[in-house]
Structure 1
């Protein structure tokens, strides 16, 4: 017979369990009996929720769920601290994990979340920062006008504003034919997927930077928007000087109405956080930053989606379509985003009584 290492013998040479083990088992049993009814109740509630039978759950059980979860979590902490038996620990760990997902876990799957997010949540978040959007739009227009006027007065400003990768042949003094060649229609889409990935990376970097700089009370975001739009204004002046303003605008509009909208929203989202931190009103600074940050994060998810779509438009329709088709796509996208952001989901907002 195999004798346990901790076993001892009495005078009749019978195996006797040491007192310490008996006490531990007794303590574990007492601990479980004192709380087992609550554990069983919690387990029953979780079983119904996991089977999707929420409607059959009594109101008192639903209201008791958070308290039962905290009680089970406390029991688990005590069980670990006092080194109770492995079966009790395993049971409590499983119970607490299941309860956590029901109390704090996501309520929607990916597709359900996407349907809810795109079905009005994003547009409502964007309408909530309308003041910041107006400020950012004014700054962007002012930046483009400033870039145009600076280059019109002194062409040296063109080389100070426009990045080097855009000044290969697109420079002041270039002929109409040279500039028109940069807007030509490609014969195939070969290699454009890599171009799309590069453009997405660049545009995403600008948008994220505009958003991140908003934490410094929004001022650096405004400066970044001014600089980027000054580049656009300088290039508009260049093509206009050779009578190609319409062709350049059409070439740019395919992706520009989506990309510039995304950059506008990113800058406005960052500025929204900075503005709320600078002027929190009756809230504390931390509370204002948390509330505005949650709203801005929703906007930034939409910005990333827009940038992915803009990169595809920039790499394929813009390169393969003619001037009229480019302008048509650009105008359509402008109307689509404006309608979606500022009108879609408004009826749902009014019905629910939530401020847009």
Structure 2
């Protein structure tokens, strides 16, 4: 009985092995050719690869991927499956993976790609800037008409001593005398998190034709206008402007670019022109994503300036000097540097 019962099992194993061997023999030439090409490309030997092999690479990849699919469905031996899975994974990185290293990408990004993307959304930047300026004016006018609007724009917890009716001395104390504060790195991290949330929201809300982005810009800048009105009433507007200027020329610039990137996507969806909507939004999305990658860098710089430079520099002139230098640097980079690079969106 044992010998008879073992015979069908033995035959099944032999049939499976035969099927696996036949499957490999029929397709092994393509597998080996693809493996040889991938190995040479992984080693950086592109010049040694014949043109016909480079042209055949996509077709070979699809053939081997199809072989892997068949092998999985027919439950071929584990060794064949493991070999095909590893080969397909390696070939995928060669065919579809990134063509440059992180260092090369950063060189292209900072060497003109980012600035070209910013120049590519210049119209949206103009619109976002006008909306931000309008937001400051709206905030000023609202609180000058009714000071209770101040607390509608800013929570009492966040306001602290910066409230309508506060004495000039109390308000002045919020602008100066912070050079001996401790834990400024933690403060900078919190500020970075807050500013990043505003910028990401301004960008992400652009898909709704840019309208929520505009409203968000107005709301955030209305708060700045309300605070400017408060310090103006105490005769400290210039000092407040210097206090903001240290980090604001970078932080507000970053928020401006984030809002403009969101508007760029919304405008492409609302007015695609002769292009299909999907194509227009995809092109706008790639350009806007490049801008947003730089916005993150700007927010890191702004957080460092706000957490350290503004605390360590305790006079208005020095704060204006730092903020003015940063603004000039950003403008020079975006609108004068790398004009020969990054023409493609």
- Scaled by the length of structure 2, the TM-score of the pair is 0.93
User: 1:333 is matched with which residue?
Assistant: 326
CA contact (8 A) 1:186 1:319 kept: yes
CA distances 1:265-292 after superposition (whole Å, capped 9, x unpaired) = 1111111111111111222222222222
Secondary structure of the structure 2 residue equivalent to 1:346: coil
- 1:18-37 equivalences in 2 (<5 Å): 18-37=10-29
User: 1:103 is matched with which residue?
Assistant: 95
Farther-moved stretch of structure 1 (207-216 vs 172-181):
172-181
Farther-moved stretch of structure 1 (17-26 vs 205-214):
17-26
User: 1:247 is matched with which residue?
Assistant: 239
How much does 1:166 deviate? 4.3
Whether 1:57 and 2:77 are equivalent positions in the alignment is no
User: 2:146 is matched with which residue?
Assistant: 154
How much does 1:18 deviate? 4.2
- 1:213-224 equivalences in 2 (<5 Å): 213-224=205-216
Q: CA RMSD in A?
A: 2.1
How much does 1:164 deviate? 2.2
- 1:59-98 equivalences in 2 (<5 Å): 59-98=51-90
User: 2:177 is matched with which residue?
Assistant: 185
Larger Cα-atom Rg: 1
User: 2:195 is matched with which residue?
Assistant: 203
> Hey, what's the Cα distance between the residues in 2 that align with 1:258 and 1:237?
22
CA distances 1:52-105 after superposition (whole Å, capped 9, x unpaired) = 111222222112111111110000111111122222212111111110111112
User: 2:126 is matched with which residue?
Assistant: 134
User: 2:287 is matched with which residue?
Assistant: 295
Higher relative contact order (CA 8 A, sep 6+): 2
| Count of matched residue pairs | 343
CA contact (8 A) 1:189 1:320 kept: no
CA distance change for structure 1 residues 43 and 355 in 2, over 3 Å: closer, same or farther?
closer
Structure 1 residue runs of 5 or longer lacking an equivalent are 9-15
> Hey, what's the Cα distance between the residues in 2 that align with 1:295 and 1:5?
71
CA distances 1:26-68 after superposition (whole Å, capped 9, x unpaired) = 3222221221111111111011111111122222211211111
CA contact (8 A) 2:113 2:341 kept: no
CA distance change for structure 1 residues 41 and 186 in 2, over 3 Å: closer, same or farther?
same
